[in-house]
Amino acid sequence: MKKTSNRLRSLCAALAALVLAVILTVPAFAVEGGFTDLYYRMNDSANVLTEDEDNELEDALEELSLRQSFDVTIATIESLESVDYTSMEEYADDLYDFCQFGYGADRDGVLLLVSVGDRKWHISTCGYGITAFTDAGIQYLGEQMTPDMADGDYAAAFRTFVQWSDAYIDAARSGHPYDVKNLPREPLSPMYLFLALGIGLVLAWVIVGVMKSRLRSVAFQQNAASYVREGSMNLTNSRELFLYRDVHRTERVEEKDSDSSGGSSTHTSSSGTTHGGGGGSF
């Protein structure tokens, strides 16, 4: 049996202990100012990962979360029906809240939820995660992951999520979160540069050749007088032209489209916590 099954059983047991602790009014479930200490960050309920992949991703999520002081978690489910939900957003938010994910008092973090049977994904953010993962940034991140998800290579998709999450957190903390006008740009391959240079040289050679062929009947002249026909210039009309003028312009302020303004939209989960997020299908 995979390690994940043991993890989920441990998680359930831990949550049962958590409920008991709450009943006994003993707040022993959290590390003050940090993470709660009762959960795993890679929860593969749909069993789409091998044991080695599960362990690798758990270690990567653990290292990233501790280094960034920002909780990064992943969960898979067989389908929404299997968890008795109809909304990816609602289940992702409730899972985040119920499992006490997040770092610090604001519960800073991000959760990627994948429903394998429904072929849907959703990212739920909380605390500083709402700042680091904007609506536009989430959609861009989805575009990077979904090709591997569509091919059934969930391990590769999750590695992409981990790598980009690290970059998103760094970008936000530098004051420039990935957003509508600040999305990552992939560097051009050198192949495209050489191809563009080759096409430019060929076009230049063709154009110069055509121009040169049209000049075969022209002989070299010492001055331009030979090109002027005698008596060909007759002045029949004259007028004054103003060469300069002063123009005063007033800039017109265009209304911005609210969809292009960027940032993160938020909502309130069933537990009353503020979340951001977004998702799609694959």
Alpha-carbon gap, residue 136 to 258, rounded angstroms: 13
Percentage of residues in the chain with pLDDT exceeding 70? 64
**Residue 112: CB partners within 8 Å, gap ≥ 6?**
73, 74, 75, 121, 122, 123, 158, 161
Q: Which of 24, 9, 8, 132 is closest to 76 using CA atoms?
A: 8
What are the pLDDT digits (tens) for 55-79? 999 999 999 999 999 999 999 999 9
Q: Which residues pair with 75 in a beta bridge?
A: 43, 113
Domains along the chain with CATH numbers? 43-185+266-281 (3.10.310.50)
**Amino acid, res. 221:** Q
pTM value is 0.68
* pLDDT at residue 210 is higher than 60: yes
What are the pLDDT digits (tens) for 119-165? 999 999 999 999 999 999 999 999 999 999 999 999 999 999 999 99
CA distances for 102 relative to 30, 76, 188, 212, angstroms: 11, 18, 37, 71
Q: Which DSSP letter does residue 258 get?
A: G
Q: Which residues pair with 36 in a beta bridge?
A: 30
Give the total residue count for the chain. 282
| pLDDT tier for residue 199 given thresholds of 50, 70 and 90 | confident
State residue 163's pLDDT score.
Answer: 98
Measured between alpha carbons, how far apart are the two ends of the chain, in Å? 28
What are the pLDDT digits (tens) for 12-22? 444 444 433 33
State residue 217's pLDDT score.
Answer: 58
What are the pLDDT digits (tens) for 251-269? 665 544 445 578 999 999 9
What are the pLDDT digits (tens) for 94-126? 999 999 999 999 999 999 999 999 999 999 999
Alpha-carbon gap, residue 161 to 179, rounded angstroms: 17
| pLDDT tier for residue 39 given thresholds of 50, 70 and 90 | confident
Percentage of residues in the chain with pLDDT exceeding 90? 57
